Every structure is written in C-alpha cells, then in structure tokens.
C-alpha cells in the first residue's frame, strides 16, 4: 500500500517534469537527465519506474488524455442531467476543453505536436487515445442529429474533428499569442461559431 503510493508520487513528479520539458522542446530534444533533475529525483529512479524514455512518454499521453476525456464526458453528462439540449452539451464541452487547456497548457501543446506525426514509436498509443477523445464529441453529435436537433446534413466524424480542432487551436493561440483575453472571451467566440451566429442576422 505505502510503497506503491510512494511510487505513484514519484511517477507523478516525473510526468509533471516531462510534460513541461517535452512541450517546450519536443521529445527528442529533451534529455532524461533534464527530466530527472526537474523532477528532483535521480536518473536511476526514472529507469526504476519506467522501461525507457519512450515508455514514460506513452504513459504520460495515456494519463493526460484520460483526464481530458473524463472532463469532456462529465460536461456532457451534467448538461444531460439538467435536461439541456445537445447544442448546450456541445457548448459545455467547448468550455470544459478550454478549462482543461487553461489548466494543462503544456500537455495540450505536446499532444497537438505529436498527433499527426507518422512513423513514431508511440503512433499506436496516440491513435487509441485520440479515438477516445473524439468519440465523446461524436456521440453527442449523433444524439443531436437523431433527436432532430442538429441538421441531418452534419457529417459526424468530420464535424467532430473540426470542432475539436477549433477548440484546440483557438485555445493554444489564446495561450501563446493572445494572453490578455479571458476564458470567457474565447468561449464566446467559439460559441458564436457553434450556434451559427457569425454570418447572417437572426434572433
């Protein structure tokens, strides 16, 4: 019990150190010595806890996307419980995405930087992990179409990808180049797009 929680704490410190460094510099440019130093542990400890640098990274990916998926799912569920519409659920998920990125910007950076690479060791891990996240959005879209709340023209897989991308990129851009804006500003801009109130003059 106790020794395992000690391990968990060490691993958490290593995740924390690795995520920041890899987000800034990329996987290959980040050395194991750096990770160990920032985590405040000995290099040997890294290899006692993980088979390799690559394995550490893969587990970090799984860990992070787990958090994101849970947070998106929770936003959707809370909306459903309240009896909210599917568009409201999507809106709530956009906000949950923004909150996540605001809290873990480094993880998001790293995820985006690696996702579309081909021929890398952790490619298959990423595929699984991406599918998990996108599936949550696709489900809500599908329910919306079935309920007649969304247009039947909606192409579910492509729209899900576009929505996720919109949030990801808008949020990263906000963090990197438009720091002065508030989360509400960003949410507002995305909400307007989602509700189709950018073009035309209605309501």
Partner DNA sequence: GTTTTTACACTGACTGGTCAGTTCAAAAGC
Partner DNA sequence: GCTTTTGAACTGACCAGTCAGTGTAAAAAC
Out of a copy of itself, DNA, none, which partner does residue 45 contact, by CB within 5 to 8 A per kind?
Answer: DNA
Q: What is the DSSP string of 53-102?
A: HHHHHHHHHHHHHHHHHHHHHHHHHHHHHTT--HHHHHHHHHHHHHHHHH
Of the candidate spans 3-11, 17-25, 44-52, 71-79, the one that interacts with a copy of itself by CB under 8 A turns out to be 17-25
- Per DSSP, 151 falls in state -
Find which of a copy of itself, DNA, none residue 20 binds, CB within 5 to 8 Å per kind: none
Which one of the spans 38-46, 79-87, 99-107, 157-165 is the region binding DNA (CB under 7 A)?
Answer: 38-46
| C-alpha pair distances (Å), 154 with each of 85, 149, 150 | 17, 11, 7
Structure tokens at 119: 């021929």
Smaller CB distance to DNA: residue 52 or 131? Answer: 52
- Can you tell me which of 38, 47, 84, 106 binds DNA, judged by CB under 7 A? 47
Is the Cα torsion angle 183, 76, 151, 159 positive or negative in sign? positive
Contact footprint for a copy of itself (CB under 8 A) = 23-29, 87, 109, 112-120, 127, 130, 144, 148-151, 153-155, 157-159, 161-166, 168-170, 172-178, 181, 185-186, 188-190, 192-201
């Amino acid at each position: 019990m106790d020794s395992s929680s000690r391990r968990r704490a060490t691993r958490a410190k290593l995740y924390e150190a690795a995520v920041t460094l890899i987000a800034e510099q990329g996987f290959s440019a980040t050395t194991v010595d750096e990770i160990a130093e920032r985590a405040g542990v000995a290099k040997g400890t890294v290899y006692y806890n993980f088979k390799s640098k690559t394995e550490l990274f893969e587990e970090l990916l799984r860990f992070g996307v787990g958090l994101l998926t849970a947070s998106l799912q929770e936003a959707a569920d809370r909306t459903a419980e309240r009896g909210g519409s599917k568009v409201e659920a999507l809106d709530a998920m956009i906000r949950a995405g923004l909150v996540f990125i605001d809290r873990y910007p480094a993880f998001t950076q790293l995820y985006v930087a690696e996702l579309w690479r081909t021929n890398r060791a952790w490619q298959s891990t990423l595929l699984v992990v991406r599918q998990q996240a996108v599936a949550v959005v696709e489900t809500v879209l599908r329910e919306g179409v079935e309920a007649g709340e969304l247009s039947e023209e909606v192409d579910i897989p492509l729209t899900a990808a576009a929505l996720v991308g919109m949030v990801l990129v808008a949020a990263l851009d906000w963090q990197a180049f438009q720091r002065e804006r508030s989360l509400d500003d960003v949410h507002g801009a995305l909400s307007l797009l989602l509700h189709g109130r950018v073009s035309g003059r209605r309501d």
